[in-house]
Amino acid sequence: RARAPPFAMSSAPVDDPISSRDAGRDASSLDASVLTTNHHASFIRRSSEDRDTVEFVLTEHLRMSGVYWGLTALDLLGRLDVMEIEPILNWLQQCKQTNGGYGGGVGHDAHVLYTLSAVQICCLLDRLDLIDADQVAKYCASLQNKKDGSFSGDEWGERDTRFSYCALACCALLGKLESIDHQLAAEYIIKCKNFDGGFGCEPGGESHAGQIFTCVGALALCGRLDAVDSDLLGWWLCERQVKAGGLNGRPEKLPDVCYSWWVLSSLQILKRTHWIDRTALAAFILKCQDPEKGGIADRPNDEPDVYHTFFGIAGLSLMNFPGLKKIDPVFALPAHVVQRMGLEK
């Protein structure tokens, strides 16, 4: 299928002139029928069933996260009923490793990214009885550098602020936050703050919207949002919106639907979502839908995938799009799940 020409991303939609936009509005007044809910539910289900595709094989290493994205998107749409849950839970248990962590698929090494996805899936489905909370917390604690508070993703030692968020979120969801030194973890994240208010993957690393979500989310879990310059960072984040209405991850990049989550969730935590044009962003996400087979792509006319489908729906949820359940901006789980668990902040 043909891609949209690059210049299309730098121009405002003809039916949405910039001069007419109103940043004070969210997406609650938009027509709910524009979001093709049934198409997206069918697309997610098919993505879990089409095992002979190249995409299915190439994503084996991150399947745990793919299951989390798909199930959470379905729950936000109110269509979790299209999936058979027990086979998924049986598969999830096969991904558990002896060190307490979970791999991205059966036979894969444990990694904190996929351990969080496994915990999130069980939280979503109200099946935390399948998780050994003490063992998972011990695994997360084993990944923390006791000198500077940073976290490795697995036993091989790569460090990244993404892994700090994952370990903190795992322990918080399991009621085991005290199992790790979360204050030292916060101090390390604060060292990753840049002059522009953003955060990188390590001290001195470039500010990036994805890393900013993990750092802001982690600091929220640690009770250290006081370390964030909300106005400076909020300005950097709102500058990620381009003329087409979408958001990019850093300056001079094209917009991508996934940043509808990474940017907007951080703005939500900082209480500054009104600093961007939410109706323009919602329009951009909706234009990235595939009208034939369902799913949402990174940009209009590209191929859809479960990753962008979830983050597009999550972004719409943060903007109060009608018909969608609300999502928690810190835990990236439906708000009703977080409320059920007594974790709402």
Query: What is residue 278's three-state secondary structure?
Result: helix
Average pLDDT over residues 220-235: 98
User: Which residue carries 């697995």 as its tokens?
Assistant: 154
Percent of the chain beyond pLDDT 70?
93
Residue (of 211, 287, 309, 289) closest to 15 by Cα position:
287
Question: Chain centroid to CA 268: how far?
Answer: 13
Here the tokens at position 3 are 């891609």
Distance CA 196, CA 179 (A): 33
Does the global pTM surpass 0.75? Answer: yes
Is residue 95 packed enough to be buried (19+ CB in 10 Å), middle (13-18) or exposed (0-12)?
buried
What's the mean per-residue pLDDT of the chain? 93
Give residue 220's pLDDT band: very low, low, confident or very high (50, 70, 90): very high
CA distances from 240 to 47, 187, 275, 282, 318 (A): 30, 27, 11, 15, 17
CA distances from 235 to 13, 170, 203, 212, 232 (A): 24, 30, 21, 13, 5
Average pLDDT over residues 13-26: 56
DSSP state of 18: G
Instruction: Tell whether the model's pLDDT for residue 14 goes beyond 60.
Output: no
Average pLDDT over residues 246-251: 98
Give residue 60's pLDDT band: very low, low, confident or very high (50, 70, 90): confident
